[in-house]
Amino acid sequence: QARGDGRGRVVAYDDVLRVRMRERAELENAIRNGLAAGEFVLHYQALVDLSTGAVTGYEALARWERHGHGMVPPSGFIPVAEQSTLICDLGRWCLRTAAVQAATWLRERPAGAPELRVAVNISGRHLSTPEIVPDVEHALAVAGLPARLLVLEITETVLVDRPSARAQMTALRDLGVDISIDDFGTGYTSIGQLQHLPASKLKIDRSLIASTAPGSRELVALVVHAAHAFGMTVVAEGVETTEQLATVRELGCDRVQGFLLARPAPADQLVVVAPR
Ligand code: C2E
Ligand code: MG
Ligand code: MG
Ligand code: MG
Protein backbone atom coordinates (compact mmCIF):
# COMPACT_ATOMS: atom_id res chain seq x y z
CA GLN A 1 0.00 0.00 0.00
CA ALA A 2 2.85 2.37 0.88
CA ARG A 3 4.32 1.53 -2.52
CA GLY A 4 1.08 2.42 -4.20
CA ASP A 5 1.15 5.83 -2.53
CA GLY A 6 4.73 6.35 -3.61
CA ARG A 7 3.94 5.56 -7.22
CA GLY A 8 0.95 7.87 -7.09
CA ARG A 9 3.18 10.70 -6.01
CA VAL A 10 5.75 9.99 -8.71
CA VAL A 11 3.07 10.04 -11.37
CA ALA A 12 1.61 13.29 -10.00
CA TYR A 13 5.06 14.90 -9.86
CA ASP A 14 5.75 13.82 -13.45
CA ASP A 15 2.49 15.42 -14.53
CA VAL A 16 3.36 18.67 -12.80
CA LEU A 17 6.74 18.74 -14.54
CA ARG A 18 5.19 18.00 -17.90
CA VAL A 19 2.63 20.76 -17.48
CA ARG A 20 5.31 23.22 -16.38
CA MET A 21 7.51 22.39 -19.36
CA ARG A 22 4.62 22.75 -21.76
CA GLU A 23 3.65 26.08 -20.23
CA ARG A 24 7.21 27.33 -20.53
CA ALA A 25 7.44 26.27 -24.16
CA GLU A 26 4.13 27.99 -24.88
CA LEU A 27 5.25 31.18 -23.18
CA GLU A 28 8.53 31.08 -25.10
CA ASN A 29 6.59 30.77 -28.34
CA ALA A 30 4.27 33.60 -27.37
CA ILE A 31 7.27 35.85 -26.59
CA ARG A 32 8.88 35.01 -29.95
CA ASN A 33 5.63 35.72 -31.82
CA GLY A 34 4.98 38.84 -29.76
CA LEU A 35 8.41 40.19 -30.64
CA ALA A 36 7.75 39.56 -34.33
CA ALA A 37 4.29 41.12 -34.06
CA GLY A 38 5.57 44.32 -32.42
CA GLU A 39 3.84 43.68 -29.08
CA PHE A 40 6.87 44.80 -27.07
CA VAL A 41 7.35 48.43 -26.07
CA LEU A 42 9.87 50.34 -24.02
CA HIS A 43 8.96 52.58 -21.13
CA TYR A 44 11.47 55.13 -19.93
CA GLN A 45 12.26 56.21 -16.37
CA ALA A 46 14.25 59.37 -15.65
CA LEU A 47 17.56 59.53 -13.82
CA VAL A 48 17.95 62.87 -12.08
CA ASP A 49 21.15 64.62 -11.06
CA LEU A 50 20.96 65.56 -7.37
CA SER A 51 23.17 68.62 -7.57
CA THR A 52 21.41 70.27 -10.52
CA GLY A 53 17.96 68.66 -10.48
CA ALA A 54 18.34 68.00 -14.21
CA VAL A 55 17.39 64.78 -15.97
CA THR A 56 20.61 63.16 -17.22
CA GLY A 57 18.92 60.37 -19.11
CA TYR A 58 16.39 57.57 -19.02
CA GLU A 59 16.46 53.85 -18.34
CA ALA A 60 14.60 51.80 -20.94
CA LEU A 61 12.35 49.15 -19.36
CA ALA A 62 10.68 46.50 -21.50
CA ARG A 63 6.91 45.90 -21.41
CA TRP A 64 4.87 43.34 -23.31
CA GLU A 65 1.45 44.38 -24.55
CA ARG A 66 0.48 40.75 -24.94
CA HIS A 67 -2.56 40.21 -27.10
CA GLY A 68 -5.49 39.33 -24.82
CA HIS A 69 -3.39 39.59 -21.62
CA GLY A 70 -2.86 43.31 -21.09
CA MET A 71 0.49 44.77 -20.04
CA VAL A 72 3.01 42.12 -18.94
CA PRO A 73 5.89 43.36 -16.73
CA PRO A 74 9.48 42.08 -17.22
CA SER A 75 9.02 39.48 -14.46
CA GLY A 76 6.48 37.80 -16.77
CA PHE A 77 8.86 37.26 -19.69
CA ILE A 78 12.53 37.99 -18.84
CA PRO A 79 13.09 34.83 -16.72
CA VAL A 80 11.66 32.61 -19.47
CA ALA A 81 13.45 34.48 -22.27
CA GLU A 82 16.69 34.01 -20.33
CA GLN A 83 16.34 30.22 -20.58
CA SER A 84 17.14 30.39 -24.28
CA THR A 85 18.72 32.61 -26.92
CA LEU A 86 15.39 34.43 -27.05
CA ILE A 87 16.86 36.86 -24.50
CA CYS A 88 19.42 37.85 -27.16
CA ASP A 89 16.65 38.60 -29.69
CA LEU A 90 14.85 40.65 -27.07
CA GLY A 91 18.12 42.37 -26.13
CA ARG A 92 18.85 43.27 -29.75
CA TRP A 93 15.35 44.72 -30.10
CA CYS A 94 15.76 46.78 -26.88
CA LEU A 95 19.16 48.08 -27.95
CA ARG A 96 17.90 49.19 -31.35
CA THR A 97 14.64 50.70 -30.09
CA ALA A 98 16.29 52.59 -27.23
CA ALA A 99 19.13 53.84 -29.44
CA VAL A 100 16.65 55.16 -32.02
CA GLN A 101 14.73 56.91 -29.20
CA ALA A 102 17.90 58.51 -27.79
CA ALA A 103 18.90 59.67 -31.28
CA THR A 104 15.47 61.33 -31.54
CA TRP A 105 15.98 63.07 -28.17
CA LEU A 106 19.36 64.26 -29.39
CA ARG A 107 18.01 65.61 -32.66
CA GLU A 108 14.93 67.22 -31.18
CA ARG A 109 16.39 68.72 -28.01
CA PRO A 110 15.88 72.45 -27.49
CA ALA A 111 18.90 74.66 -28.20
CA GLY A 112 21.31 74.57 -25.26
CA ALA A 113 19.62 71.59 -23.57
CA PRO A 114 21.97 68.85 -22.37
CA GLU A 115 22.28 65.57 -24.26
CA LEU A 116 20.20 62.78 -22.73
CA ARG A 117 21.55 59.27 -22.35
CA VAL A 118 19.60 56.07 -22.60
CA ALA A 119 20.35 53.05 -20.39
CA VAL A 120 19.53 49.52 -21.59
CA ASN A 121 19.49 46.42 -19.39
CA ILE A 122 21.68 43.63 -20.76
CA SER A 123 21.13 40.08 -19.59
CA GLY A 124 24.10 38.03 -18.46
CA ARG A 125 23.36 35.45 -21.09
CA HIS A 126 23.46 38.00 -23.92
CA LEU A 127 26.59 39.56 -22.45
CA SER A 128 28.34 36.19 -22.56
CA THR A 129 27.75 35.63 -26.28
CA PRO A 130 30.14 36.90 -28.95
CA GLU A 131 27.16 38.70 -30.52
CA ILE A 132 26.91 41.37 -27.85
CA VAL A 133 29.61 43.65 -29.27
CA PRO A 134 28.33 43.59 -32.88
CA ASP A 135 24.74 43.92 -31.58
CA VAL A 136 25.65 47.12 -29.72
CA GLU A 137 27.68 48.47 -32.66
CA HIS A 138 24.81 47.74 -35.02
CA ALA A 139 22.22 49.48 -32.80
CA LEU A 140 24.40 52.60 -32.59
CA ALA A 141 25.00 52.61 -36.36
CA VAL A 142 21.35 52.06 -37.30
CA ALA A 143 20.21 54.81 -34.94
CA GLY A 144 23.08 57.16 -35.69
CA LEU A 145 23.61 57.51 -31.93
CA PRO A 146 27.03 58.53 -30.54
CA ALA A 147 28.33 55.71 -28.31
CA ARG A 148 28.75 58.10 -25.38
CA LEU A 149 24.96 58.42 -25.10
CA LEU A 150 24.38 54.70 -24.55
CA VAL A 151 24.66 53.13 -21.11
CA LEU A 152 24.55 49.37 -20.62
CA GLU A 153 23.20 48.18 -17.27
CA ILE A 154 24.64 44.89 -16.14
CA THR A 155 23.51 43.33 -12.88
CA GLU A 156 26.03 42.65 -10.22
CA THR A 157 25.25 38.91 -10.09
CA VAL A 158 26.38 38.46 -13.71
CA LEU A 159 29.93 39.24 -12.68
CA VAL A 160 30.00 36.41 -10.21
CA ASP A 161 28.23 33.86 -12.41
CA ARG A 162 30.03 34.45 -15.70
CA PRO A 163 33.77 34.93 -15.78
CA SER A 164 33.72 35.78 -19.53
CA ALA A 165 31.47 38.74 -18.76
CA ARG A 166 34.31 40.94 -17.66
CA ALA A 167 36.21 40.68 -20.96
CA GLN A 168 33.03 41.45 -22.87
CA MET A 169 32.38 44.45 -20.66
CA THR A 170 35.84 45.78 -21.50
CA ALA A 171 35.20 45.28 -25.22
CA LEU A 172 31.94 47.20 -24.87
CA ARG A 173 33.57 49.98 -22.90
CA ASP A 174 36.15 50.24 -25.69
CA LEU A 175 33.31 50.99 -28.13
CA GLY A 176 32.76 54.14 -26.10
CA VAL A 177 29.57 53.14 -24.31
CA ASP A 178 29.20 53.48 -20.54
CA ILE A 179 28.80 50.47 -18.28
CA SER A 180 26.64 50.70 -15.18
CA ILE A 181 26.59 48.01 -12.48
CA ASP A 182 22.90 47.43 -11.71
CA ASP A 183 21.21 46.26 -8.51
CA PHE A 184 24.39 46.59 -6.43
CA GLY A 185 23.93 45.24 -2.92
CA THR A 186 21.78 42.24 -3.84
CA GLY A 187 24.58 39.87 -4.83
CA TYR A 188 27.92 38.97 -3.39
CA THR A 189 30.26 41.29 -5.23
CA SER A 190 32.67 42.82 -2.79
CA ILE A 191 33.16 46.55 -2.85
CA GLY A 192 36.83 45.95 -3.67
CA GLN A 193 35.94 44.16 -6.90
CA LEU A 194 34.42 47.36 -8.25
CA GLN A 195 37.89 48.79 -8.64
CA HIS A 196 38.70 46.24 -11.35
CA LEU A 197 35.55 46.60 -13.40
CA PRO A 198 35.36 48.64 -16.62
CA ALA A 199 32.26 50.38 -15.27
CA SER A 200 31.79 54.09 -14.69
CA LYS A 201 28.46 53.92 -12.86
CA LEU A 202 27.05 52.08 -9.90
CA LYS A 203 23.36 51.70 -9.12
CA ILE A 204 22.56 50.87 -5.52
CA ASP A 205 19.61 48.49 -5.37
CA ARG A 206 16.21 49.61 -4.16
CA SER A 207 16.22 47.02 -1.36
CA LEU A 208 19.31 48.63 0.19
CA ILE A 209 17.93 52.14 -0.29
CA ALA A 210 14.66 51.10 1.41
CA SER A 211 16.29 49.11 4.20
CA THR A 212 15.92 50.47 7.73
CA ALA A 213 17.90 47.63 9.29
CA PRO A 214 20.71 48.73 11.58
CA GLY A 215 23.85 49.36 9.55
CA SER A 216 22.12 49.85 6.18
CA ARG A 217 22.80 53.55 6.17
CA GLU A 218 26.47 52.95 6.96
CA LEU A 219 26.63 50.33 4.20
CA VAL A 220 25.27 52.77 1.61
CA ALA A 221 27.73 55.41 2.83
CA LEU A 222 30.57 52.91 2.46
CA VAL A 223 29.54 51.91 -1.05
CA VAL A 224 29.23 55.56 -2.13
CA HIS A 225 32.61 56.37 -0.65
CA ALA A 226 34.36 53.44 -2.36
CA ALA A 227 32.64 54.00 -5.71
CA HIS A 228 33.72 57.64 -5.68
CA ALA A 229 37.27 56.63 -4.86
CA PHE A 230 37.15 54.41 -7.96
CA GLY A 231 35.87 57.33 -10.04
CA MET A 232 32.34 55.99 -10.40
CA THR A 233 29.06 57.91 -10.46
CA VAL A 234 26.53 56.57 -7.95
CA VAL A 235 22.82 56.23 -8.64
CA ALA A 236 20.27 55.47 -5.89
CA GLU A 237 17.52 53.21 -7.27
CA GLY A 238 13.89 53.05 -6.25
CA VAL A 239 13.62 56.29 -4.27
CA GLU A 240 9.97 56.47 -3.23
CA THR A 241 9.84 58.93 -0.33
CA THR A 242 11.17 62.39 0.48
CA GLU A 243 12.94 60.84 3.49
CA GLN A 244 14.82 58.44 1.24
CA LEU A 245 15.68 61.31 -1.09
CA ALA A 246 17.10 63.34 1.81
CA THR A 247 19.11 60.33 3.01
CA VAL A 248 20.69 59.43 -0.32
CA ARG A 249 21.54 63.09 -0.87
CA GLU A 250 23.19 63.27 2.55
CA LEU A 251 25.11 60.08 1.87
CA GLY A 252 26.55 61.55 -1.32
CA CYS A 253 24.69 59.72 -4.10
CA ASP A 254 25.07 61.62 -7.37
CA ARG A 255 21.81 60.66 -9.07
CA VAL A 256 18.43 59.23 -8.20
CA GLN A 257 15.83 57.16 -9.95
CA GLY A 258 12.49 56.31 -8.42
CA PHE A 259 8.74 56.69 -8.33
CA LEU A 260 9.07 59.86 -6.21
CA LEU A 261 10.52 61.73 -9.19
CA ALA A 262 9.24 59.77 -12.18
CA ARG A 263 7.50 56.53 -13.06
CA PRO A 264 8.47 54.59 -16.16
CA ALA A 265 6.28 55.77 -19.07
CA PRO A 266 6.14 55.70 -22.87
CA ALA A 267 8.51 58.18 -24.53
CA ASP A 268 5.68 60.57 -25.44
CA GLN A 269 4.36 60.74 -21.85
CA LEU A 270 7.44 61.49 -19.77
CA VAL A 271 6.87 63.63 -16.68
CA VAL A 272 9.55 64.31 -14.09
CA VAL A 273 9.11 66.04 -10.72
CA ALA A 274 12.04 68.25 -9.71
CA PRO A 275 13.79 66.93 -6.55
CA ARG A 276 13.67 69.20 -3.50
P1 C2E B 1 16.07 47.18 -12.95
O2 C2E B 1 16.98 47.26 -14.10
O3 C2E B 1 16.68 47.30 -11.60
O4 C2E B 1 14.97 48.31 -13.19
C5 C2E B 1 14.36 49.03 -12.17
C6 C2E B 1 13.04 48.45 -11.79
O7 C2E B 1 12.58 49.08 -10.60
C8 C2E B 1 11.95 48.67 -12.82
O9 C2E B 1 11.03 47.61 -12.74
C10 C2E B 1 11.30 49.96 -12.31
O11 C2E B 1 9.96 50.12 -12.74
C12 C2E B 1 11.35 49.70 -10.82
N13 C2E B 1 11.32 50.94 -10.04
C14 C2E B 1 11.88 52.13 -10.35
N15 C2E B 1 11.67 53.02 -9.38
C16 C2E B 1 10.98 52.40 -8.42
C17 C2E B 1 10.44 52.80 -7.14
O18 C2E B 1 10.58 53.95 -6.69
N19 C2E B 1 9.78 51.86 -6.42
C20 C2E B 1 9.59 50.60 -6.88
N21 C2E B 1 8.91 49.74 -6.10
N22 C2E B 1 10.08 50.17 -8.07
C23 C2E B 1 10.76 51.06 -8.82
P24 C2E B 1 10.57 46.78 -14.01
O25 C2E B 1 10.36 47.69 -15.17
O26 C2E B 1 9.44 45.90 -13.57
O27 C2E B 1 11.82 45.90 -14.36
C28 C2E B 1 12.27 44.91 -13.47
C29 C2E B 1 13.58 44.33 -13.91
O30 C2E B 1 13.44 43.63 -15.15
C31 C2E B 1 14.65 45.40 -14.18
O32 C2E B 1 15.22 45.79 -12.98
C33 C2E B 1 15.58 44.63 -15.08
O34 C2E B 1 16.45 43.83 -14.34
C35 C2E B 1 14.62 43.74 -15.86
N36 C2E B 1 14.39 44.35 -17.18
C37 C2E B 1 13.52 45.32 -17.53
N38 C2E B 1 13.60 45.59 -18.85
C39 C2E B 1 14.56 44.77 -19.34
C40 C2E B 1 15.14 44.58 -20.63
O41 C2E B 1 14.79 45.24 -21.61
N42 C2E B 1 16.10 43.61 -20.75
C43 C2E B 1 16.54 42.90 -19.67
N44 C2E B 1 17.50 41.97 -19.86
N45 C2E B 1 16.04 43.06 -18.45
C46 C2E B 1 15.06 43.98 -18.28
MG1 MG C 1 18.39 48.43 -14.76
MG1 MG D 1 18.36 48.32 -11.24
MG1 MG E 1 16.65 46.51 -9.59
- Give the pLDDT confidence of 187-244 residue by residue, as tens digits: 777 888 888 899 999 999 999 999 999 999 999 999 999 999 999 999 999 999 999 9
pTM of the model: 0.94
Ligand 1: does its nearest atom lie under 6 Å from the Cβ of 124?
A: no
Atom 20 of ligand 1: nearest residue by CA position: 238
Provide the CB-side half-sphere exposure for 188 (13 A, CA).
2
Instruction: Compute the distance from residue 78 Cα to the ligand 2 centre, in Å.
Output: 13
Ligand 1: does its nearest atom lie under 6 Å from the Cβ of 259?
A: yes
Q: State the pLDDT at residue 9.
A: 62
Distances (CA, A) of 78 to 113, 151, 264: 35, 20, 17
Residue 259 has pLDDT above 80, yes or no: yes
Atom 43 of ligand 1: nearest residue by CA position: 121
Report, as an integer, the average pLDDT of 161-179.
90
Instruction: Compute the distance from residue 74 Cα to the ligand 1 centre, in Å.
Output: 7
Ligand 1: does its nearest atom lie under 6 Å from the Cβ of 152?
A: no
Comparing 30-39, 128-137, 159-168, the range with the smallest average pLDDT is 159-168
Instruction: Compute the distance from residue 28 Cα to the ligand 1 centre, in Å.
Output: 21
Q: State the pLDDT at residue 6.
A: 54
Pocket test for ligand 1, best of 58, 78, 239 (most atoms within 8 A of CB): 78
Q: State the pLDDT at residue 272.
A: 78
Q: If pLDDT is split at 50, 70 and 90, which confidence band does 165 have?
A: confident
Q: State the pLDDT at residue 5.
A: 55
Distance from C-alpha of 14 to C-alpha of 231, rounded to nearest angstrom: 53
Distance from C-alpha of 115 to C-alpha of 106, rounded to nearest angstrom: 6
pLDDT digits (tens, 9 = 90+) for 1-51: 444 555 556 667 788 888 889 999 999 999 999 999 999 999 999 999 999
Going 199 to 174 to 106 to 95, the CA torsion angle's sign is negative
